[in-house]
Structure 1
């Protein structure tokens, strides 16, 4: 007797969405967290900025049910490329960009910026997320706890401020660090640098500034481990996110066992 065919596994939903006006828009669903439970699809999205979305792009977001947009861009960035999406509540959590200013300061001293300088600047930026911008990331966590309405969070390129936020969320949900790093590095496959951006710097420097490297996120996570006693202590002592809140977040964003 032939064996009956095995039931086909349903295909996983799309992770990345090739929008015309945003190249780095993607879903955090499907990664396996605490207790073998996967992150729910179509709840948490990360992206580059949304000011360039076409009407067709906006229709895709509406179809996905996106109800909230969290904008990590600095005040001047968000003012220069403002947007309003029908039916989407807008939540600014400003994190001022520091890399460009610090690069300009170095150049004003007469120094030609190198790729290694740029890596150091990016690592310092990520340490600043952990230390100086914790209130903004705490604000994101409070929003996610208040409701599990589908949410997109973004900055300008969707790679650094957004990348650290995505890593924090996934790690809190129990996703292993190597998987979190894999998601973080997807930016290098997806994100397309706007033409003419930062054209005054050498191309080797731009390649560092407009992409992501393991060393960037590692700088932040090492600081969480070494300066704050690890993720649990950071969540509780710095973000004000205790065990009960973490359990509630898992209940909202992980599939039932």
Structure 2
């Protein structure tokens, strides 16, 4: 049974940058262009793109993506989600685009889709305050460290390849491009010194980026166990407060983005410095 649109899109009504107008992919935007605190530097534009489920991309959208220099796409969804919870309602599906390598980097293990784990996550996402979402994002940080580490090491290698004249770009995505995608985006922005309020505003762009797809997502999560329409809308929403408090939690419990990347993702401080230096560019 279909629970979503066959042709979602990133609307032409959204500002570009950061959004890239694409048929078949919701919530597609550049993570770059944000100012680093107390400097004139920016987070690198045209390198990291984030989005929702990209599996209905039109041929024209794929050509646009290739024109952006994208040669890797990192899929944060889990196999059970791809097999059973395809929001677009088109069945198990992954991307296979010419010249673009898909890397399967699931945040949650397959055993995390047992009924008890799913119920706990659904309850957190539907919480009225931000505490539930912070709990959910703590779980993403804990379970997703290995997958995030794979993407961070890819960025590290891209930073080294650029010294040889190679220029590449990448995409990472989950289903809506909000939670697993949003947490990784926030880590990268926070690592580079983008202020919390700005990170939260970038996270909040998902509400515009999903556009009309929001209503179909709400229907989908209601079918998957959301307890009420209000709860489903909170689950799909991207409130700034949730990210502000998540960033505070990252500092308090993980020692900040850099320490999280070193202690949980397994990179060295020197490697993290290389990534930071690559991602921060002069305005």
Q: Write the mapping of 1:32-181 to structure 2, written as runs, cut at 5 A.
A: 32-33=35-36, 35-79=39-83, 80-96=92-108, 101=115, 105=119, 115-116=126-127, 121-148=132-159, 149-181=168-200
Q: Which has the larger radius of gyration?
A: 1
SS, match of residue 50 in structure 2: strand
Q: Distance in 1 between matches of 2:237 and 2:251?
A: 24
SS, match of residue 82 in structure 1: coil
Q: Distance in 2 between matches of 1:188 and 1:101?
A: 28
Unaligned stretches of 5+ residues in structure 2: 1-14, 84-91, 160-167
SS, match of residue 46 in structure 2: coil
Tell me the TM-score normalized by structure 2.
0.75
SS, match of residue 38 in structure 1: strand
1:224 aligns with 2:224: no
SS, match of residue 186 in structure 1: helix
**Equivalent position of 1:15 in the other structure:** 18
Tell me the TM-score normalized by structure 1.
0.82
Residue of 23, 30, 34 corresponding to 1:31: 34
Q: 1:251 to 1:206 in 2, by over 3 A?
A: same
Equivalent residue pairs, number: 241
Unaligned stretches of 5+ residues in structure 1: 1-11, 107-111
**Equivalent position of 2:214 in the other structure:** 193
Q: Distance in 1 between matches of 2:117 and 2:271?
A: 39
Q: 1:103 to 1:219 in 2, by over 3 A?
A: farther
Residue deviations 1:93-115 (CA, integer Å, cap 9, x gap): 11238699559747xxxxx9995
8 Å CA contact 2:106, 2:144 repeated in 1: no
RMSD after superposition: 2.9
Structure 1 position 37, deviation (Å): 1.5
